[in-house]
Chains A and B, each alone.
Chain A
Amino acid sequence: MVDQAVVQDATAKPADKREGVERSDAEPVNKKERRSLYQKRIKIYPRLARGGFRRLKWGVMAVTLAIYYLTPWIRWDRGPNAPDQAVLIDFPGRRFYFFFIEIWPQEVYYLTGLLILAAIGLFLVTSLAGRVWCGYTCPQTVWTDLFIAVERFFQGDRASRIRMDKMPWTGNKVWRKAATHVTWVVIAAGTGGAWVFYFADAPTLAQQLVTFDAPAVAYVTIATLTFTTYLLGGLAREQVCTYMCPWPRIQGGLLDEESLVITYHEDRGEPRGARKKGTHPTELGDCIDCNQCVAVCPMGIDIRDGQQLECITCALCIDACNGVMDKVGLPRNLISYDTLANVERVRAGEKPRLRLIRPRTLIYTGIIALVTLIMLFTLVTRSDLDVNILRDRNPLFVTLSDGSIRNGYTVKIINKQHAERHFTLAVEGLPGASIDIVGNDVTAADLQVDPDDLESYRVFVSAPRDSLEDDSLDLRFLITDKADGTRVTYDSVFRGPK
């Protein structure tokens, strides 16, 4: 799988070290001139970058992986009759537990709200600082970064890996390659393994998995995610971002000239060229053409070509370039986070500035604030008692032998508490109304609903014929908790003959 270009690279003369800067002949393998019909994937050997952004990325990787692997193991006491797992998606029980919140299936609109927040949050962050999601927190980036670290641990950095791919299959090569792939598979299995713990009690499932008592779906899920993690993180890598992911295409519509993106300051850097140590000929710009920005790039691009679809803005080229600039005694930030507008401003002799507050960011912030407020309001005012009343439509009403009119209703009471509750049922707005409930020994004075359950009652409301002035009357149901007096009202109608 070694491309011609890489072979040339590795056989080229040793890097020029006269300036104390290691030169690399790394080629941007995804440069557009290199593509042909049915492009074979050209392997990228990213070099380890050192610097602030690399440290930040290690930190983000540690935090995000910790959240992913450890969350199912957090316990949260909900008392009896409820699981004590802080985050649990309980499909058989049809509940989603998230710390202090319990979501019932009919409340999935909370999920909609979260998705809206996630989407608009992504829009806001992208319009402010470009593809920071792609560069730091996207699982594809995090796991690829982890897999590259594993590769580096066993096979060495860029030059060593290129050498290893070229050399014949010796014992040393076999064990280093095997160790890399085995470690990848172990990490991948751990990734799939952690996923299933979100859907069942983690300690119980872990025990079942080891003793082979776990449900088949758990093993299938783990196997599938193991395969996809290994494939996408170990083998496909940048192909996922470039060809499979829609986000690089979408983000083009979210960025504007005031968004922070990885910028090569062409006005300062060009014309690029190598120079003698300590000298900076006036005919050359600050770029010494050492190619380190290309060598560290996990996407195989040359940032000096400008903004491009493949760039996930991981900022590793900034680290690489800053290290070089320090060594050759030139100012840092030849490559930096900057806006296209600032490049224009500098070119026009103006002062660069950041415009964080723009109509676009204000609108996104407004939407986020609005959705958050709505979500908080519904969450805070969320009742642990829900009532739904369905009126019979066939028959609309029944005339009884004494001439009075009867309507049928199905009353559904949802008790979201973890304790049994008792309710009374009454109606308002219908003179002389009487209530009958189907089932022996069930009366409107005492309706029992089991803990964390829904109970459905058939309720008949009857009234004398002359208490109906019209063929339709507004009727209000009052459901009251006998223990604490919590009351829910539900408006319905009562129908009679014309």
Chain B
Amino acid sequence: MAHDKEIDQVSGTETTGHEWDGIKELNTPLPRWWLWTFYATCLWALAYWVVMPAWPLVSSYTKGVIGYSSREQLANTMAEARAAQAVYLDRIEQASLEEIVNDRELLDFAQAGGGSAFAVNCSQCHGLGAAGSTGFPNLNDDNWIWGGTLEAIHQTILYGIRSDHDETRFNEMPAFGRDEILDREQVGDVAEYVLSLSGSETDPAAAQRGSEIFAEQCAACHGEDGTGNQDLGAPNLTDAIWLYGGDKADVVQTIANSRSGMMPAWTGRLDETTIKQLAVYVHSLGGGE
């Protein structure tokens, strides 16, 4: 600024010469140590450029003399976490499913580990809360098509259902309508009978006719009383749970065209300890037998 120093009359302090609506800005001096602190921070910045990764280059960056890398730090942190988990994972690998459930520590670990594995691998079909949806079983309830013991659940997760694995769980219900085993009316009658098994209101005459067809065509797998057979993967038809819906139209559709849901085998895709944790997790959701 070219003009002379102006001293404010009231405070005795020099002004900057800036004026707004008659108010002048005082040029109050800073303490000198403040200036030195400022120089120190500048020096710090220069040193930081030398010591730490700082400047982007065309295809890389200045690495800094101590070679710090946040990527490496992440890798170390992850390695530490894996090392901390390894203690439990080793024990889970050695333990049987029963032993895991009976050991409070391992149970907590398996439920947490199984829960996150479920969210990543299973929730796409079964839902985040494992409540399923039409065609995808609810894993919280006490109804199991292929068995709800720890072993049975473990087996299902390992090899899947109608998967391409050799040891997959497999069955096939005939498409009674499409393959013309039963005619339209017969399918309707069987549907009436199946609905009556779980206490739904139905046409008694139709149900009576359907019961005879059921004994002939369906009882082999679903049982005389319709309670199903977990060894064959034949659902219990007498309970309140319907995988493909419990309306007459849904049941008719199932009988006429059959259903064949598919679950992939997870062995080979997930390691053994993860599958064990998944089995424990699913078993602990509330329906485990």
Contact = CB atoms under 8 A, between A and B. Distances in A.
Contacts of A458: 284
B220 interface: no
Interface in A183-203: none
Contact of A243 (B12, B34, B129): B34
A213 interface: no
B193 to A, nearest CB: 19
B102 A440 contact: yes
A394 B129 contact: yes
B11 A32 contact: yes
A401 interface: yes
Residue of B11, B32, B130, B140 with most partner-chain A CB within 10 A = B140
Contact of B240 (A38, A236, A401): A401
Contacts of A400: 141-143, 240-241, 287
A401 B141 contact: yes
Given A243-B34, A408-B286, A440-B102, A36 B29 contact: yes
A239 interface: yes
A53 interface: no
Nearest to A39: B29
A439 B29 contact: no
B107 interface: yes
B273 interface: no
Interface size classification for chain B: 20 to 34
B76 interface: no
Contact of B31 (A41, A401, A408, A440): A41
A39 B286 contact: no
Contacts of B34: 38, 243
A331 to B, nearest CB: 34
Interface string A397-437: 01111110010100000000000000000000000000010
Contacts of B142: 400-401
Nearest to B198: A403
A243 B29 CA distance: 11
B46 interface: no
A438 interface: yes
Interface in A1-48: 32-33, 35-41
Contact of B131 (A37, A38, A398, A401): A398
Interface string B230-264: 00000010011100000000000000000000000
Residue of A399, A402, A436 with most partner-chain B CB within 10 A = A399
Interface string A361-400: 0000000000000000000000000000000111100111
A440 B107 CA distance: 10
A438 B115 CA distance: 15
A39 B32 contact: yes
Given A394-B129, A398-B140, A400-B240, A40 B32 contact: yes
B31 A39 contact: yes
Given A41-B31, A239-B31, A398-B131, A403 B240 contact: yes
Contacts, number: 85
Contact of A440 (B29, B101, B140, B239): B101
B141 A399 contact: yes
A11 B251 CA distance: 113
Contacts of A39: 29-32
A41 B33 CA distance: 8
B13 interface: yes
B28 interface: yes
Given A403-B240, A406-B286, A460-B286, A398 B31 contact: no
Nearest to A243: B31
Contacts of A438: 284, 286
Nearest to B132: A395
B143 A37 contact: no
A394 B128 contact: yes
A401 B13 contact: no
A38 B39 CA distance: 13
Interface string B98-126: 00011010010000000000000000000
B134 interface: no
B64 interface: no
Contacts of A402: 239-240
A392 B129 contact: yes
Contacts of A36: 29
A239 B128 contact: no
A259 B143 CA distance: 78
A394 B240 CA distance: 20
Given A32-B11, A401-B241, A458-B284, A38 B104 contact: no
Contacts of A243: 31, 34
B226 to A, nearest CB: 13
Interface string A233-264: 00010010001000000000000000000000
Contacts of B31: 38-39, 41, 239, 243
B105 to A, nearest CB: 12
A226 B30 CA distance: 27
Contacts of A403: 239-240
Given A401-B141, A408-B286, 15 more contacts: A35-B28, A37-B29, A40-B32, A41-B32, A243-B31, A394-B127, A394-B129, A398-B141, A399-B240, A400-B142, A403-B240, A408-B140, A440-B102, A458-B284, A460-B286
Interface of A: 32-33, 35-41, 236, 239, 243, 392-395, 398-403, 406, 408, 436, 438-440, 458, 460, 465
Of all A-B residue pairs in the complex, the 5 with the closest CB atoms, nearest first, are A394-B129, A401-B239, A395-B131, A403-B240, A398-B140
9 contacts: A37-B27, A38-B35, A236-B33, A243-B34, A398-B140, A398-B287, A400-B143, A401-B141, A401-B142
